[in-house]
């Protein structure tokens, strides 16, 4: 199992550009999450999904969109990149079981200039 994979690893965007961060998991987990981590801060939830076709906002959803058409994939879309979106983005997944751990991807480091 590859676990949770994310692409790209690094990206530099210009203000106003758009991009999609890809996230795939091969563990058949129903729950998936997108977090962002700003320097010196903990991770904050952007969006989450409890299954294919179901998504919901987290703490910091503004400027982002998600979709969940399959169990495996949970892409994060930035429509109009802003410098405030410079961050490290982590995707995670888990089974719908209490106290169950979340498995994290390696992260995508995004810089918006």
Partner 1 sequence: AQRVTQPEKLLSVFKGAPVELKCNYSYSGSPELFWYVQYSRQRLQLLLRHISRESIKGFTADLNKGETSFHLKKPFAQEEDSAMYYCALSVGNQGGKLIFGQGTELSVKP
Give the residues lining the site for partner 1 (CB under 8 A): 31, 33, 35, 40-45, 48-50, 56, 58, 90, 92, 94, 96, 98-102, 104-107
State the DSSP code for 73: B
Residue among 81 and 93 whose Cβ is closer to partner 1: 93
Count the neighbouring beta carbons within 10 Å of the beta carbon of residue 69: 10
Q: Is 4 or 78 the residue whose CB approaches partner 1 more closely? A: 4
What residues form DSSP beta bridges with 56? 48
Q: Is 59 helix (H, G, I), strand (E, B) or coil?
A: coil
Residue 14 C-beta: closest distance to partner 1, Å? 28
CB of residue 75 vs partner 1: minimum separation in angstroms?
Answer: 17
**CB within 8 A of 36, min separation 6: which ones?**
43, 44, 46, 60, 85, 87, 88, 89, 90
Smallest distance from partner 1 to CB 20, Å? 21
Tell me if residue 5 falls in helix, strand or coil.
strand
Q: State which residue, 51 or 83, has the beta carbon closest to partner 1.
A: 51
Q: In terms of CB distance, is 14 or 39 closer to partner 1? A: 39
Task: Write down the residue that tokens 């690094």 correspond to.
Answer: 10
Q: Closest separation between CB of residue 106 and partner 1, Å? A: 5
């Amino acid at each position: 199992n590859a676990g949770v994979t994310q692409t790209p690893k690094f990206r530099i965007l210009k203000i106003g550009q758009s991009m999609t961060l890809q996230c795939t998991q091969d563990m058949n987990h129903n729950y998936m999450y997108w977090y962002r981590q700003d320097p010196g801060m903990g991770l904050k939830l952007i969006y989450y999904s409890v299954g294919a076709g179901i998504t919901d906002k987290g703490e910091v959803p503004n400027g982002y969109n998600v979709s969940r058409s399959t169990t495996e994939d949970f892409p994060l879309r930035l429509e109009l990149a802003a410098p405030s979106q410079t961050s490290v983005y982590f995707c995670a997944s888990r089974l719908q079981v209490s106290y169950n751990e979340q498995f994290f991807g390696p992260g995508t480091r995004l810089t918006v200039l």
